[in-house]
Amino acid sequence: MSSLHLHPYAGSTTPRKNSGGSSELEPLRRVPSPAGIPPPTFTRPHSSMHPVRRATSPLPARPSSPLDFPAPGTGGRRTFRPRRRLLQAVACFALFCLLGALLSVDRRHVQKYIPATPSYGLGFYGWRAKRPKVASEGALRMRGQKSSIRTNLRTDNKYITAWFHAGWTNDVMMAFNLIHLAKLTGRIPILPPFPPDNAHLVGGHGLAAGFITFSQIFDLPRLAHDIGTPIVEMHELKSMQPHTIKIYGVEEGLLEEPPEMDVIGCWSTWLSTCDDGCIHARAAEEPGVYMLNVHYTPIPPSFRRAMPWEPITFENMTNIARPQPNPLLQYYLKPSNELTDFVKQRHIPLANPAPDEHIACFDFLYFVSETGLEVHQEYTGRTEAGRWAGAWGDVGRYARWTPELEDLARGYLRRAFKLPDRPGVTIPPFIGIHIRRGDFGKLCPQEQPDCLPTVADHVDRLSLIRGNLTERLGHAPEYYLMTTDETDKGFLYEAVRAGWTLVDHEKERTVERFGMWYPTLLDSVMLSMSTGFLGTSTSTLSIMARRRVEDWNNGFGLFQPFPGGMGPQFDD
């Protein structure tokens, strides 16, 4: 038997010439035993398909290195393993340093505040196929209120915002317009809170009712998921200044820095759509309470229709708000053009700074529509643009109430209809009635001071709704729920005699238990749960309630028309 030994040249770096004169490393052989029998050469089996080619040139001699240590079992042969290990260690250390630098862009904020939730990578913004936990997911650098409105915003995104100050339902319509415009321009909407409005809130005086956020009323994560875009709320970016009224039920428990003054350039639609007497942008509460020093530039006059108060089209608004490079926007900010002539004519100083590019903002988005037609008319869905055109079709129909608000409204309905007041009790189909009379009485001409429709007028209109539902569903609801701002006891008595149920917010102690916002909010939620609906023509609360009944419940609605000369009539 022969024993296996390494070839004498196996541990050497000096090549040995073979019999053919070429220099190559010989293969390992079994060294002969003392008997001197020539050992056989062990070579790799050859294949007829892939013959093994022998090297024709020697391996280059490698100088010895202090990193070369004999590996076990190599008989002194040098190895590259220690060098590879050192290189791997150096690479890992460099990668660790790089990650540390990337994750500590703002070490103060990372340590003090909760980081923004990462995206899931499932859609354009990361979560289109999965409902986000928060509506702003993926839209912010980090979370927690900062001193500046800009700190939490990502530099690779563009944003858009506007102010709300026209009464709650009108403000909701402006919020839908803002989100719709954000989608058209590829920006992320920033929603300010709704300010209190004394004319529409029970017992409201000044700012006593407090601000309320969009997400306290509507299911914002659901809306963001359904329309496919993240939505940011202003209180996620910055806190209100000290010693001012806080957002109702939101401020507690949020991490915040003391607010500092932000300077921002915004566009003003108000200066371009109002009559010639307007020299200031539309007043709003949000810039003041959020410490925003806003400088307004009017929308170019060619972007609006000829008559004052006529809406600007979303197409023209998109041309203004589209992210740069926007040659149209750059043109209007040049020293000589129609915009500079317009501000000179109005004696309005040209704003400095110019409208912001990172955060496009507007003072008033109420007079904006898809076709340029009357705003109320477009929200009814009965225009040449079609039922689903504009902000309602793109945004509004997806804005559902929060589950908490819906549960609260169901309890009110159970008690109003004298049903067992426990969760799960079925609420029968009913017809909702919204009658706005208080401030609308001022619209009556002097020769007809009592021009508002009576209870009998509404009963006649209700018969048409019952007939439609009977034809479509085979039966008509037997329950009626009325909400109204009317305080005249004679009118309310006639309504009860007609078989209508009134929600008694005083008996329910709604304001004492939930706050000044909730009578109006609960009325809107309850009306949206009806199968049929009769509303007040030109009232935006009625317009929105009818759309919800028809589009959410497959119901049927009508408006009670006013006598001639009292504004546009919105009906079929």
User: What domains appear along the chain, each with residue ranges and CATH number?
Assistant: 110-398 (no CATH), 414-560 (3.40.50.11350)
Distance CA 74, CA 10 (A): 9
pLDDT value of position 55? 44
Closest Cα to residue 350, out of 284, 416, 278, 267?
267
Q: Which residues, in sequence order, are CB contacts of 196 under 8 Å at separation 6+?
A: 204, 206, 207, 208, 209, 210, 211, 516, 517
| pLDDT(248) > 80 | no
What does the pLDDT look like over 104-149, one tens digit per residue? 434 333 223 333 333 333 333 444 446 678 899 999 999 889 999 9
- pLDDT classification of 496: cutoffs 50, 70, 90: very high
For residues 343 and 354, the answer to whether their CB atoms sit within 8 Å is no
pLDDT (mean) for 313-325:
87
Q: Which residues pair with 115 in a beta bridge?
A: 142
Amino acid at 401: W
Q: Which residues, in sequence order, are CB contacts of 273 under 8 Å at separation 6+?
A: 299, 304, 308, 309, 310, 311, 312, 367
The alpha carbon dihedral of 199, 201, 207, 211 has a sign of negative
For residues 130 and 230, the answer to whether their CB atoms sit within 8 Å is no
Count CA atoms within 13 Å of residue 481 on its CB side: 30
Amino acid at 152: N
Amino acid at 317: M
Q: State percent of the chain over pLDDT 70.
A: 70
| pLDDT(371) > 60 | yes
Closest Cα to residue 228, out of 95, 129, 148?
129
What does the pLDDT look like over 255-278, one tens digit per residue? 567 889 999 999 999 888 876 667
Instruction: Please tell me which residue, 528 or 241, carries the higher pLDDT value.
Output: 528
pLDDT value of position 377? 82
Write b or e for each residue in 198-231: b if 16 or more Cβ atoms lie within 10 A of its Cβ, otherwise e: eebbbebeeeebbbbbbbbbbbbbbbbbbbebbb
SS3 (DSSP) at 480: strand
- pLDDT classification of 177: cutoffs 50, 70, 90: very high
Closest Cα to residue 184, out of 310, 304, 303, 316?
316
Highest mean pLDDT among 86-100, 359-373, 442-456 belongs to: 359-373
pLDDT value of position 493? 96
What's the CA angle centered on 120, arms 118 and 122, to 5 degrees?
Answer: 145
| pLDDT(54) > 50 | no
Query: Which has the minimum average pLDDT: 114-118, 181-185, 291-295, 512-516?
Result: 114-118
Distance CA 411, CA 260 (A): 43
Query: Which has the minimum average pLDDT: 291-305, 353-367, 459-473?
Result: 291-305
Distance CA 184, CA 180 (A): 6
- pLDDT classification of 25: cutoffs 50, 70, 90: very low
For residues 198 and 205, the answer to whether their CB atoms sit within 8 Å is yes
- pLDDT classification of 12: cutoffs 50, 70, 90: very low
pLDDT value of position 209? 82
Q: How far is Cα of residue 463 from the mean position of the Cα atoms in its chain? A: 41
For 104, phi then psi, to 5°, come to -120, 45
Closest Cα to residue 390, out of 401, 400, 381?
381
For residues 199 and 439, the answer to whether their CB atoms sit within 8 Å is yes
pLDDT (mean) for 206-224:
90
Distance CA 60, CA 13 (A): 8
For residues 173 and 524, the answer to whether their CB atoms sit within 8 Å is no
pLDDT value of position 47? 44
pLDDT (mean) for 335-339:
71
For residues 370 and 312, the answer to whether their CB atoms sit within 8 Å is no
Closest Cα to residue 289, out of 210, 209, 203, 197?
210
pLDDT value of position 571? 59
| pLDDT(295) > 50 | yes
Closest Cα to residue 362, out of 497, 266, 479, 219?
266
Per the prediction, the chain carries an average pLDDT of 78
SS3 (DSSP) at 140: strand
Cα separations in angstroms, 505 against 118, 409, 421, 435, 502:
43, 12, 16, 16, 9
Closest Cα to residue 256, out of 117, 137, 149, 105?
149
Structure tokens belonging to residue 397? 């129909």
For 296, phi then psi, to 5°, come to -105, 140
Residue 302 DSSP code: G
For residues 195 and 285, the answer to whether their CB atoms sit within 8 Å is yes
